Amino acid sequence: MKIGKIIVAAFFAAGALSFASAATAEVNFKRCAACHGLKAEKVPPGGTIATATVSKEELKKSLKAYKTNKEFGGKMKATMQLQVKPFTEEDLDALADYIFTNFHVEK
């Protein structure tokens, strides 16, 4: 019986963590809206594509590259590097998931 309770508790904890990540990602996206639009629909200054049209995998890859690869990006890479600097890899994954889930549109 104890094992069953532990398993149930683990599922609830995982769900709460997932909810916390989604809520945090929503707050974190507010940093993006000035350049990318309230629905990630704008082509940002110096950019070539609206974020809302990018795949989830490409969003994750790009966000992490801005954080780890100082050579990655275009004209505004320094701005993007500063924006992602405080985030963990998990934060960036959650942010990409949030953007894709809430704003993605096909090109």
Q: Report the top-level CATH class of 2-103.
A: mainly alpha
How far apart, in whole angstroms, are the C-alpha atoms of residue 57 and residue 55? 5
Domain ranges in the chain? 2-103
pLDDT tens-digit readout, 12-59 = 444 434 444 778 999 999 999 999 999 999 999 999 999 999 999 999
Of 44, 46, 22, the residue nearest 32 (C-alpha): 44
pTM listed for this prediction: 0.79
